[in-house]
């Protein structure tokens, strides 16, 4: 009979490490998906704040322009609405920036979820089969060791 070219304790250690990785991997995959949801919610909340700010900015700018028109009609001095216009412009810019990030996250998440789906299948299907195969190898080696023991 051939010598046993393996450290059975190390193989048991690998089997334990695989089982641990399978459980930890599920948790990591869940956290990755959770983080996508958290960031999407955070961006949507920020977008909502920007829309409110923009709405208020448009109202303030409209009121200012109204005052400016009335002032011009009555021959009073000019009314400066640049501050209100700047507030509107800033809110529009922020909202646009958020929309661009939302679009990018949708794209990145879609790409990632394909990879994550394959990794999930690896954890749920392939890795348990590998663990079973490794256990069968270990059992075979232990059986061979028992047979060798009396003669060695």
Residue nearer to other proteins on the CB measure, 68 or 127: 127
> CB of 15: closest distance to other proteins in angstroms?
9
Residue nearer to other proteins on the CB measure, 79 or 116: 116
How far apart CA 113 and CA 53 sit, in angstroms, is 34
Listed residue (108, 150, 123, 144) closest to 3, CA to CA: 144
Which string of b and e fits 124-135 if b means at least 16 CB within 10 Å? eeebeeebeeee
> CB of 71: closest distance to other proteins in angstroms?
33
> CB of 74: closest distance to other proteins in angstroms?
39
State the first-to-last Cα distance of the chain, in angstroms, to the nearest integer: 11
Tell me the two tokens of residue 31: 């956290």
> CB of 84: closest distance to other proteins in angstroms?
19
Q: Which residues bind other proteins (CB under 8 A)?
A: 2, 5-7, 10-11, 13-14, 16-18, 20-21, 24-25, 28-29, 31-32, 35-36, 39, 42-43, 46, 94, 97-98, 101, 104-105, 108-109, 111-112, 115-116, 118-119, 122, 126-127, 130, 133-134, 137
Given the structure tokens 């304790």, which residue do they identify?
Answer: 9
> CB of 110: closest distance to other proteins in angstroms?
11
Angle between helices 127-148 and 8-73 (to 10 degrees): 160
Residue nearer to other proteins on the CB measure, 41 or 63: 41
């Amino acid at each position: 009979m051939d010598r046993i070219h393996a450290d059975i304790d190390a193989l048991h250690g690998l089997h334990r490490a695989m089982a641990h990785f399978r459980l930890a991997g599920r948790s990591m995959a869940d956290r990755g998906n959770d983080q996508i949801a958290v960031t999407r919610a955070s961006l949507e909340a920020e977008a909502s704040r920007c829309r409110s700010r923009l709405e208020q900015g448009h109202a303030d700018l409209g009121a200012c322009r109204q005052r400016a028109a009335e002032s011009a009609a009555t021959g009073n001095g000019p009314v400066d609405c640049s501050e209100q216009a700047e507030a509107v412009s800033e809110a529009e810019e922020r909202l646009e920036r958020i929309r661009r990030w939302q679009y990018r996250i949708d794209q990145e998440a879609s790409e990632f979820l394909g990879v994550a789906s394959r990794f999930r299948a690896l954890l749920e299907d392939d890795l348990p089969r590998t663990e079973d195969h490794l256990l069968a190898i270990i059992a075979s080696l232990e059986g061979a060791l028992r047979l060798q023991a009396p003669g060695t």
